[in-house]
Structure 1
């Protein structure tokens, strides 16, 4: 398990770009252990969302600096479909628990 943190002087566009990239990576790579499934990934996603509030308060880009492309929103990226795997697993576990209790 690795945690990444981006630091630096960002404008709003660059911060949004990094937020989307890092959140998409978390959705793709963050579910592959049981501890990550219930602890690390949900808290990382919440921390990313809190960071987005700070990013939205950043100033617009100014000067002649190159601006990063913000890219597609997180939920419109193909990597965000990986979140369906843990959701399917949780549904499967709940269904088996219910089936065990009723039989």
Structure 2
């Protein structure tokens, strides 16, 4: 019966999680009890049964792979994850930090002035900021601070109440998975 349960007992949600594990444990406990009995007495009225091949030597033992495979896959995926910030489907690769130009928003500090390179361009989908001198007539906004996190607009509003614009720098990884690298909290120049 244990061999049959190993092969046929996993094919339903109730059986997979409750019925079959309980059945297999009960069979194991009963097997230990039967193994603890004394051997049959020679000359007893009934003949001893011919012992079957031990369960561990039968092909039905492969049925243990049915519940063990998902468990091992979950444990492997948890153990192979280098960092909580990196998904296991996107392996972490150590690369040198990119070098940004002096006018790139990655280098913006509080007090710097920025402008949108594409302002007024009807084909521009997103703004692209560059750092400019605050004395430059093209300067549109002042950087109040740089924040990180999932909700930069809320953080900018809390940490920099004078901010009236948020410029987010994001990275796309495919499959519509995007992370916000950082955001600049900006105030329009008057």
Which has the greater radius of gyration? Answer: 2
- 1:55: how far off? 0.9
Going from structure 1 to structure 2, the CA distance change for 1:67 and 1:85 (only over 3 Å counts) comes to same
Aligned counterparts of 1:81 and 1:25: Cα–Cα separation in 2? 11
Aligned counterparts of 1:70 and 1:34: Cα–Cα separation in 2? 34
Alignment of 1:63-74 (within 5 A): 63-74=44-55
1:52 corresponds in structure 2 to 31
TM-score, normalised on structure 1?
Answer: 0.59
Aligned counterparts of 2:57 and 2:64: Cα–Cα separation in 1? 12
2:11 corresponds in structure 1 to 32
What per-residue deviation string (whole Å, max 9, x for no partner) do you get for residues 26-60 of structure 1?
11111111221111111111111211232123232
Q: Which has the higher strand share?
A: 2
Whether 1:80 and 2:61 are equivalent positions in the alignment is: yes
Unaligned runs of 5+ in 1: 1-21
Unaligned runs of 5+ in 2: 88-190
Aligned counterparts of 1:87 and 1:81: Cα–Cα separation in 2? 10
Higher relative contact order (CA 8 A, sep 6+): 1
Aligned counterparts of 2:45 and 2:31: Cα–Cα separation in 1? 24
Q: Which has the higher helix share?
A: 1
Backbone CA RMSD of aligned residues: 2.6
How many residue pairs get matched?
80
